Structure 1
Amino acid sequence: MSNHDNPPVQNIERRVPNVEQNINAEGRRSKGFRRAHRRFALGLLPLALCVLLSACAIEGGVPPRTPTELAPATRPPQATSLPTSPLAAATATTQPNDTLALGLLTTNQPRDLLPYHSDSADARNSEPITTLLFPPPLLALNYGYTTTGVLEQVPLLENGGAELRSVDVFLDAAGTITTTATDVVTKAQQIVVTYRWNPQLKWADGTPLTADDSVFAYELARQTPLGADAATRLGLTDRYVVVDAHTTQAFLKPDFLDPNYFLTFWTPLPRHLLKNVAPGALRASDWAARPLGYGPYTFEGADATTIRLTRNTFWAGNALPAEWVSVSFLESVDALRNGLLSGRLDVASADRVPPDQIPLLDQNAAQRLMQVSYVPGPVWEHLDYNLDVPLLQDIRVRRAIALAIDRVGLTGALFAGHTPVLDSWLLPGQWATAPADQLTRYDYDPDEARRLLDEVGLVDSNGDGQRELDGAPLTIELLTTEGAPLRSQIAEQLRKDLADVGVTLDIKAVKSQELYSPNGPLFQRQFELVLFAWIAGPDPAGLALWSCKAVPSQQNAFTGDNFPGWCFREADQAITVATTSLDQAERQQAYLRQQQLFTQELPSLPLFQRLGLALASPQISGVQPDALAPITWNLTTWERQP
């Protein structure tokens, strides 16, 4: 992995796996970090099943959130609209060397440019810009974490950046740790993480950034909601303190042992600008309208379709590729493509690729009119079986359904084969993904599917091509979300594939709010098959997905995300070890065993990753698109060739 060019520090760059939290379609985050073996490890993000990462609102019919009012530009943006006609290439222009022009989809237009986000969709929409204003202290990159120059290193137990301490704690009558003094005192382990901040960082007004700015963010989060990630950190943190001008320490709550302990930092907020702002008024403040950060660029202005950034003159890092960055929001991938052809855009990024655009993009790349990168993203589609349904309790039926589905053909039709078929619920690139040859695989084999169904006794007795169950045509209901073109295409292909082996699929599409409601069919487990997606993070996690305690039921108030209802003792033990151990080798072995059991028992059939897209002008070098990091993660290293 190449080094990032950042302010000069001892930049000990390290790829480290970690655990993400669980977010459902409506942005509801499951409860935070795990206490030893007693809480869920949260690692995959359920998504409203739609074409866009942030399209839960579109699929579910939720009204779009009103953006924070950003200050208008003090100078007019260079491009407020872009031609979408293929003739645009005939009048191609080039951007001046002092401006980098980026294009994103209007569906990904951020609600604000603050470093704290309400949910994962908000974060993904904002990050291409906020990364330039407030570089993340640790960056999710290539399914790991790395430094960005804001922190000197990823603090780990292995490198001395974190330590385990033995502390005295009080126990209540139930044997639970309490802050109230009792007569029962015992020992517990406590993780302490030390964060060393780059002393050369300055806010864009010239004020030095200090450890106190990080602690200020922590103090603010205790007074007013700063979003899902902040709430999760608060749930894990006992206290967060200044050690010296450029060092902070996070003391985790005693007995909380979690592989993502090193993410308990607080992204700095400028105390000198916000100390007199009421905590609840942060998002309505002048600073929120014109956010001032510590990154290579600072906010200059915005209008309805464009955000403009200008160089932070106090940036202490390497020379920047341009004085200004202009970000335009366009309606479609076709508009982004034509923006590149016309020369009005230098770089563009999209989290979806319509099938009809792929031949055009491939042709443009072959003609060297632009650089095209297809990026299998963290969003992955899957088909869950409800194991409470008697028919689906037979492993032969589940396997027959899997073997009947032509997943390679499906990805070929949707993405021209640019995204892989999945063999497991862990994605290629995640550190614990098991080798395919150590898993049970379900390559397309309709003949074997027919044989298994015959073996079960689900036969076509009258030769009409339809198998029967208890004398009636064999019909299985597939539940999914409405208003999602991609999901509709998937469901229709599943219907055709299963019909080919004599099974009728009855497709029922519901609004995403209904699907993900606590009283809806997913959490109440009132479905037969369900088609939706998860978002993977840097670390697999999985306890909230596959543990026995994560099966939604009356006993746990219908929490947890084990919607198939899969409770297999050895697999439950494996996922518990995998998500609670601090020993990486032990975790990897446990994940391997869990995946072997998962693919053997097949409570869910992974389909494929959604496809993202990055486009760059032939004159721009250095763009390195990533499944997790925003397109701008290494913008300071981009170069414009003559």
Structure 2
Amino acid sequence: MRRLFAALALTMVLIRPAAAKDELVIGITQFPATLNPSIESMLAKTYVLAFAHRPITAYDASWHLTCLLCETVPTLENGQAKVEQLPGGKKGIAVTYTLRADAKWGDGHPITSEDVVFSWQVGRHPQSGVASAELFRRISTVTVKDARSFILHIDRVTFDYNAINDLRLLPAHIERPRFDGAAAEYRNRTAYDQDSTNPGLYNGPYRIAQVVQGSHVVLEPNAQWSGRKPAFKRIVVKAVENTASLEANLLSGDIDMIAGELGLPLEQALAFEKRNGARFAVVTKPSLTYEHLDLNLGSPILAERNLRQALLLGLDRESLTKQLFDGRQPVAHSMVPPLDWVHATDIAPYKFDPAKAAALLDESGWKRGPGGIRVNAKGDKLSLELVTTAGNRSRELVAQVLQAQWRKLGIDLRLRTEPPRVLFGETVTKRKFPHMAMFAWYSAPENVPHSTLHSDAIPKAENSWSGQNYTGYANPAMDRLIESIETELDRTKRKALWRELQALYAADLPALPLYFKADAFILPKALKGLVPTGHQDPSPYWVENWRWE
């Protein structure tokens, strides 16, 4: 309720509309490790590039697949996708896309089928180091019909055959000389990092005009953009890795808003709203974001499934979410969020059961030793290390709760933090964390976890650290389920397969589920048109609709 004094004061002043604003400064908690659209999978990069670099297709805020660079989403029904016979009696699918006639790179060079072919060649090269190579490997050939139309020949018929969100276009006229003959070095030679302000790298409403490493990225309107004219003459995305400092920057006016995709933890945002709700609009959006602990299964300790199960049974996650998040971020029992239609509700959850956890540890040979810490027959202590992002107050609190709860079980947990660009650019990507890494996966609707759970997606030096299976999980049964889900077109049958996958995930626990997050957008009340999506395709994909009113 507003105070009476404020209400009376309104009658005493002339109310004027907020002045138009030319510059918008946005705060996020991470700085990108790279700006190349295909290399690394950091959300900070996805967010920054969303202002300047559009994919061919994306999911909108209603979770519908839509065209951003193409004219029409191809489907079997409209005839732009056709099942085709492959050698050996298998079936594939040929999907025809037509690029928008007005699509151009920021240097005026048209976006063409040549860019599609080049981007596919980079993506499928075994040494290019792209984050998710699966889509590129499945596209067996690309047939160029003309400068704007092309056919992707995919080696299987999948339910999401027309969603090519991961096929991020690279400008062939700029990047090809850096890639040809030096694929293994491409990630270190890309113009996106060596010549970041080159306008020819971008095709969205904005282009990157300045990059100050570790600090901020400046975006200015792209003169070649033919869509709706964006409202701001300058957007600055500023990285403030400490969430308390991020809040202070907002209150001091150094930034205008905090992005929900990569901003304040929910509990901090709710507390902020109580204090500052009159000045800012706080919009919370339940999302497909999965907070968890990736486990390095190459560790001899964590390789044993009983121990992984004991770790989860020893966590009181219900109390954790109630105490820290007021129960607004539900406990995760698998990696599939409850918002997703394939979420299985009948998988037996790991409820807090310290007695059962202790029994499993005893059974695995970890007995209570001096000081209460468990030791094995060799005298090795049950000591683990957890690494997470520095400056994130929520994760620091969660890590401390985990440490205290596992201590009661006789498990020693050491905590370590790293700057996000180090954690995601090096430690996690190259599987350098010894035991556990706490972070979140931001998913698309019905996102098949091929890149995170299939054995062919384990990053290693031989594939230039391509893939997102950072745990090193390899289970033929999981591989078969993933492949079956991808090729099952019948929704009822596919949902049954999804249930099997979630049951296997719960049994094997390659990662420890914590909770599903809600995004908190802290916006100036004059900013209109920003619509949270709740999934991995972020709100700046539609920045041309943002207005200051």
Instruction: Establish whether TM, by shorter chain, passes 0.5.
Output: yes
CA distance in 2, matches of 1:581, 1:624: 32
Find the counterpart in structure 2 of residue 199 from structure 1: 101
Find the counterpart in structure 2 of residue 405 from structure 1: 315
Unaligned 5+ runs, structure 1? 1-93, 169-185, 553-557
Deviation at 1:138, TM superposition (A): 1.3
3-state SS in 2 of match to 1:337: helix
CA distance in 2, matches of 1:383, 1:583: 32
Find the counterpart in structure 1 of residue 27 from structure 2: 104
What is the correspondence of 1:178-577 to structure 2 with a 5 Å cutoff?
Answer: 186-204=88-106, 209-215=111-117, 217-218=119-120, 228=130, 232-252=134-154, 255-256=155-156, 258=158, 261-262=161-162, 263=164, 267-268=168-169, 274=174, 279=179, 283=191, 288-292=196-200, 293-301=202-210, 307-320=217-230, 322-331=231-240, 332-342=242-252, 345-349=255-259, 351-353=262-264, 357-358=268-269, 360-373=271-284, 378-382=289-293, 402-435=312-345, 438-444=346-352, 476-481=382-387, 489-500=397-408, 503-508=409-414, 530=436, 532-533=438-439, 535-538=441-444, 539-542=446-449, 561=469, 574-577=481-484
CA distance in 1, matches of 2:142, 2:298: 44
Letter in 1 for 2:46: E
3-state SS in 1 of match to 2:320: helix
Deviation at 1:194, TM superposition (A): 0.7
Deviation at 1:615, TM superposition (A): 1.7
Letter in 2 for 1:127: T
CA distance in 2, matches of 1:225, 1:387: 23
Unaligned 5+ runs, structure 2? 1-16, 181-188, 460-464
From the superposition, tell whether residues 373 and 340 of structure 1 become closer, same or farther in structure 2 (CA, over 3 Å): farther
The match for 1:163 among 82, 90, 93 is 82
Contact 1:387–1:393 (8 Å) recurs in 2: no
Letter in 2 for 1:623: L
3-state SS in 1 of match to 2:402: helix
Find the counterpart in structure 1 of residue 54 from structure 2: 135
Contact 2:132–2:468 (8 Å) recurs in 1: no
From the superposition, tell whether residues 314 and 467 of structure 1 become closer, same or farther in structure 2 (CA, over 3 Å): closer
CA distance in 1, matches of 2:140, 2:472: 35
From the superposition, tell whether residues 572 and 130 of structure 1 become closer, same or farther in structure 2 (CA, over 3 Å): closer
Contact 2:136–2:167 (8 Å) recurs in 1: no
Count of residue pairs the alignment pairs up: 505
3-state SS in 2 of match to 1:634: helix
Contact 2:196–2:211 (8 Å) recurs in 1: no
Contact 1:142–1:429 (8 Å) recurs in 2: no
Deviation at 1:327, TM superposition (A): 0.8
The match for 2:526 among 619, 622, 640 is 619
CA distance in 1, matches of 2:525, 2:20: 14
- The structure that has the greater radius of gyration is 1
From the superposition, tell whether residues 210 and 416 of structure 1 become closer, same or farther in structure 2 (CA, over 3 Å): same
3-state SS in 1 of match to 2:204: coil
3-state SS in 1 of match to 2:69: coil
Deviation at 1:134, TM superposition (A): 2.5
| Aligned: 1:119 with 2:40 | yes
CA distance in 1, matches of 2:506, 2:292: 16
Q: Taking every aligned residue pair, what percent have the same amino acid on both sides?
A: 20
Describe the superposition over 1:146-195 as per-residue Cα deviations: whole angstroms up to 9, x where unpaired.
22432123334455332221144xxxxxxxxxxxxxxxxx4443322211
Find the counterpart in structure 2 of residue 555 from structure 1: none
Deviation at 1:492, TM superposition (A): 3.8
CA distance in 2, matches of 1:566, 1:231: 17
TM-score (norm 2): 0.71
CA distance in 2, matches of 1:278, 1:455: 56
From the superposition, tell whether residues 424 and 215 of structure 1 become closer, same or farther in structure 2 (CA, over 3 Å): closer
Letter in 1 for 2:319: G
